[in-house]
Amino acid sequence: MRRTRLKHVGLAVLLTLAGLGGAGAVPAAASGTGTTASATPATGDAPASDGLLHAMQREFGLTEEEATARLAAEQTATALEPAVRRAAGATYAGSWFDAADGRLTVAVTAKSSPATRAAIRAKGAGVRVVEHSARRLDAAKSRIDELSAPSAVGGWHVDPKANAVVVTVVRDRRSDNDVQRFLTRARAAGPVTVETVTSAPRTFAAGTVGGDPYYTGNVRCSIGFSVYGGFVTAGHCGRAGAGVRGWDGTYVGAFQGSSFPGDDYAWVNVGSGWWTVPVVLGWGTVSDQLVRGSAEAPVGASVCRSGSTTHWHCGTVLARNETVNYSQGAVYQMTKTSVCAEPGDSGGSFISGDQAQGVTSGGWGNCSGGGETWFQPVNEILSRYGLTLHTY
């Protein structure tokens, strides 16, 4: 696996140099990763590389034509979302990508005028009339954020399709008195529905194992995305000031900023012969993926994850702005996905097409039996630390 990974990183460097022309010499030493990004989707003829299209075919049971069409439709939905939100105004109640329909669906309240609904449809989106506005649901979630949750409560998020705040609870703990008390208080905050899961979320850091992108102390984690000057990753992987070693054991840099819980993000500076490249490793499953921006994919869109333990897996975005209740404390504004992950994948890349989405935080389950994983959105990390995504 080491030789395979070296081959991929070498290819990534070559591709970067070819795209930069006369930008200057790059150190011929160990490789690394980089930072922040433009939020503009790619404008090439193909929505993604052949490798990513093949992964989409495998994960979703699509033909190559269907995978190409889906990624193109998701890019259209991503670009459309800000415009339909403005068109809906105060009646906006959320939106999501409908894979069956191949377009963005926008929820609006009954107070929306026929002209507003017509304007949204004219932009190419579907319309669904619901009871509660996004503003009301966001306010309810904020009130729930102020509650202290027991460990059997996995988290909570606004679900525009359900038009409610969805609270997840460990299935065999739902009848616990502390869980019931929490749910009573949550329901008092606003519209709430309850879903059960098999286990509570946990972070995906791991003890020292071979073949991993980076180590801090005895913890192994995964690089997220290159930024200019370093890379972003998960905050639970290391505290500010902690030194970082690369997959080959050489010194890379140190954590320059880190936040966990509350948030789960960090950034590491890169030096000592390492440099950054705008690439996500495909681990031989797909070709390495170039990063061209950080436009946020809507709920329902496909998303893939790269990590040092389980390598490359894909799924869909299930929810945004979810509060995840880890044993170490709650983490806010997370994105929930149907992608699996395992210990050591923490900090790794979530990407949709060629757009960076976020860094792996934690989840439940594994890549043998399935599960769900959350990521911290990358644009929040870039904004927090004033970083710039390294893009191709």
CA-nearest of 16, 76, 10, 86 to 41 is 76
Q: Quick check: is 259 catalytic?
A: no
> 305: which 2 tokens?
């994850």
* Contact (CB, 8 A) for 103 and 124: yes
Those residues with Cβ within 8 angstroms of residue 181's Cβ, 6 or more apart along the chain or in another chain: none
Q: Quick check: is 159 catalytic?
A: no
- Beta pairing class for 202-203 and 355-366: antiparallel
Please state the φ and ψ torsions of residue 189, each to the nearest 5 degrees.
-80, -20
Sheet holding 92-98, edge to edge: 92-98, 103-109, 126-130
Identify the sign of the CA torsion 109, 111, 116, 122.
Answer: positive
| Active-site choice (8, 132, 157, 236) | 236
CA-nearest of 389, 392, 388, 336 to 362 is 336
Please state the φ and ψ torsions of residue 339, each to the nearest 5 degrees.
-80, 140
Helix (H, G, I), strand (E, B) or coil at 194: strand
Cα–Cα distance for residue pair 61/64, rounded to 1 Å? 10
Q: Quick check: is 157 catalytic?
A: no
Partners of 104 in beta bridges: 97
* Contact (CB, 8 A) for 253 and 270: yes
| Active-site choice (346, 349, 352, 361) | 346
Cα–Cα distance for residue pair 380/242, rounded to 1 Å? 22
Those residues with Cβ within 8 angstroms of residue 90's Cβ, 6 or more apart along the chain or in another chain: 111, 133, 135
Cα–Cα distance for residue pair 347/362, rounded to 1 Å? 9
Please state the φ and ψ torsions of residue 79, each to the nearest 5 degrees.
-70, -30
Please state the φ and ψ torsions of residue 381, each to the nearest 5 degrees.
-65, -45
| Active-site choice (98, 212, 263, 264) | 264
Residues acting as catalytic residues = 236, 264, 346
